[in-house]
Structure 1
Amino acid sequence: MREGLTADGAGLAGDRVVAVGSAARILVAATARALRGADCADLGHPGPLSRFTGAPEPVRRAAAARTAGRVALTAGQTAEVDAGRVARWFVDQYPRRRYPGVLFGSPHGAAAHLAVALGVPWLPAGFEMSAHWAQGAVDRPRAALDHGAALAARLLAGNPDLHLRQVHCPASRGALAGATVSFAARWRRLPTAYRRFLTDRLEPGAPLLLILDGRTWPVLDSAPGHSFQVGCPGSGLDPVDLHPDSPVLRQVLRSTGADGTRWSPPEVSEPPRPAEHGVESGFDLTVQEWATSHRHPVHRVLVPEPAVLSAATADLYRGWLRAAGKTGNRLVVECGRLIDPWQVVRAGMVPYWCENATRRSVAGVEWWLAGSEPFSSVDVLPEPPGLRSPAVAGLPQWLAVAGFGRRRRALDRTAARGYPVSSVPTRRATEVLRAQPYDLPTPPPMTVAVALEGLRDSGAEQGLLVC
Structure 2
Amino acid sequence: MKLPREIAGFDSASAMVVALARFLHGRDTPPLGKPVFGALRPVAAVAARLPEGTRQWIYSMFSGAEGRPEAEVARFDADAVARAIAGVYPRRRYPAVAIGSSNGALTHLYAALGVPWLPQTMLLPVRQRGISPDDPARAVHAFDRTARALLDRNPDLVLHHMHDPNQDRLTLRRMAYFRVKRTRLGPAYEQFLTDVLEPDGTVLLAECGQQWPVTTVGERHVFQFGAVGGMPPAEYREAGAPLADYLRRYRAPVRRWQAPPADADAPEAEWGFEPGLREDVTTFATRRGFRVQRLSFDEAEDVSSLVADLYRWWYAQRGLPATRLLVDSFMMLDPWWTLRIGAVPYWTAFPVRPSLDRLHHYLDEADPYDFVQLGLFCHGVDSVGMAGADQWRTVLRRARSAGSFAGVSPRRYPSDPQTFFNFQRALRAVPDRHALPPPLPLATAAAFLHDRAARYPQIRTGTV
TM-score in same-fold range (> 0.5): yes
1:98 aligned onto 2:87: no
Q: Could you report, residue by residue, the CA deviation over 1:413-439 in whole angstroms, capped at 9, with x for unpaired residues?
A: 544351012234655332222222344
The counterpart of 1:207, out of the listed 192, 202, 211, is: 202
Q: Deviations over 1:365-417 (max 9, x none)?
A: 11101110111211112222211113111111221112221112222354435
Choose from 25, 29, 49 the match for 1:36: 25
Report the 3-state secondary structure (helix = DSSP H, G, I; strand = E; otherwise coil) of the residue aligned with 2:404: strand
Residue aligning to 1:180: 175
Give the deviation of 1:329 after TM superposition: 1.7
Q: Does 1:381 pair with 2:375?
A: yes
Is 1:169 aligned to residue 164 of structure 2? yes
Preserved contact between residue 217 and residue 223 of structure 2 (Cα < 8 Å)? yes
User: 2:22 corresponds to which letter in structure 1?
Assistant: R
How far apart are 1:335 and its partner, in Å?
Answer: 0.9
Letter in 1 for 2:188: A
Match of 1:463 in 2: 458
Counterpart AA for 1:152 = A
Alignment of 1:168-317 (within 5 A): 168-233=163-228, 235-261=229-255, 263-270=257-264, 272-276=265-269, 277-317=271-311
Deviation at 1:284, TM superposition (A): 1.4
Query: In the alignment, which residue of structure 2 is the partner of 1:9?
Result: none
SS in 2 for 1:170: coil
Contact 1:217–1:274 (CA<8 Å) still a contact in 2?
yes
Please give the per-residue CA displacement for 1:84-141, whole angstroms capped at 9, x wherever unaligned. 1111111111111111111111111111110110010011111112212212111211
- 2:391 matched to which residue of 1? 397
Task: For 1:66 and 1:367, locate their aligned partners in 2 and report how far apart those are by CA, in whole Å.
Answer: 37
Q: Is the 8 A contact 1:313 1:455 kept in 2?
A: no
Taking a change above 3 Å as real, the CA distance of residues 174 and 459 of structure 1, as seen in their structure-2 partners, is: farther
- Count of residue pairs the alignment pairs up: 454
Shift of 1:262: 6.6
Structure 1 Cα separation of the partners of residues 136 and 184 of structure 2: 30
Gaps of 5+ in 2: none
AA partner of residue 140 (structure 1): D
Deviations 1:50-108 (A, max 9, x none): 75556556544544443344320111211232111111111111111111111111111
The aligned amino acid for 1:274 is P
Deviation at residue 225 of structure 1 after TM alignment: 1.6
Partners of 2:336 and 2:63 in 1: CA distance: 30
Shift of 1:256: 3.9
Using a 3 Å threshold, how does the CA distance of structure 1 residues 450 and 415 change in structure 2: closer, same or farther? farther
Read off the aligned partner of 1:216 and give its amino acid letter.
Q
For residues 238 and 211 of structure 1, do their structure 2 counterparts lie closer, same or farther at Cα, with a shift above 3 Å needed?
A: same
Contact 1:317 1:351 (C-alpha < 8 Å) held by counterparts: yes
SS at match of 1:218: strand
Residue 139 (structure 1) aligns with: 134
Report if the CA contact (8 A) 2:330-2:350 is conserved: yes
8 Å Cα contact 2:210/2:300 also seen in 1:
no
Question: Do the aligned partners of residues 293 and 216 (structure 1) sit closer, same or farther apart at CA in structure 2, a change above 3 Å counting?
Answer: same
Query: Which one is further off, 404-413 or 109-118?
Result: 404-413
Q: Give CA deviations for 1:289-337 in whole Å, capped at 9, x if unaligned.
A: 1111122211111122233201100001111111111122221111112
SS at match of 1:386: coil
Aligned counterparts of 1:415 and 1:106: Cα–Cα separation in 2: 31
Q: Deviations over 1:131-160 (max 9, x none)?
A: 122121112111101113232113213222
Note if contact 1:310-1:354 (Cα within 8 Å) is conserved in structure 2: yes
Aligned to 2:153: 158
What CA distance in whole angstroms lies between the structure 2 residues aligned with 1:192 and 1:253? 46
Q: Which amino acid aligns with 1:324?
A: R
CA contact (8 A) 2:243 2:384 kept: no
Distance 1:139 1:205 in 2: 51
Q: Is the 8 A contact 1:374 1:406 kept in 2?
A: yes
Q: Secondary structure at the match of 1:100?
A: strand
The answer on 1:434 being equivalent to 2:428 is: yes
Q: Distance in 2 between matches of 1:208 and 1:177?
A: 36
Q: Name the SS for the 1:416 alignment partner.
A: coil
- Deviation digits for residues 329-363 of structure 1 (CA, Å, limit 9, x no counterpart): 22111111221101111122211111111111122
Q: Does 1:17 align with 2:11?
A: no
Q: Is the 8 A contact 2:206 2:296 kept in 1?
A: yes
- Look up the equivalent residue of 1:16 and give its one-letter code: R
Q: Does 1:368 align with 2:358?
A: no
Structure 1, residues 168-219: CA drift from partner, whole Å, max 9, x if none? 1111202322432111110111121110010011111111111111111111
Q: Which moved more, 1:422-431 or 1:108-117?
A: 422-431
Partner residue in 2 for 1:119 = 114
Q: Is the 8 A contact 1:174 1:256 kept in 2?
A: no
Worse-matched range after superposition: 14-23 or 244-253: 244-253
Structure 2 CA distance for aligned equivalents of residues 376 and 59 of structure 1: 38
Return the letter of the residue paired with 1:39.
Answer: D
- Separation in 2, partners of 1:343, 1:89: 25
Q: Which residue among 41, 54, 61 is the counterpart of 1:66?
A: 61
Question: What is the distance in 2 between the residues matched to 1:71 and 1:39?
Answer: 24
After superposition, the Cα gap between the structure-2 partners of 1:119 and 1:422, relative to the gap in structure 1 and judged at 3 Å, is same
- Where 2:178 maps in the other structure, the secondary structure is strand
Residues in 2 aligned to 1:50 and 1:229: alpha-carbon distance in whole angstroms? 35
Q: C-alpha separation between the residues in 2 aligned to 1:101 and 1:116?
A: 12
Matched-pair identity in %? 31
Matches of 2:243 and 2:256, distance apart in 1:
12
| Aligned residue number for residue 403 of structure 2 | 409
Greater mean alpha carbon deviation, residues 87-96 or residues 34-43: 34-43
Q: Distance in 1 between matches of 2:241 and 2:454?
A: 35
TM-score scaled by structure 2? Answer: 0.92
Residue identity matched to 1:296: F
Partner of 1:10: none
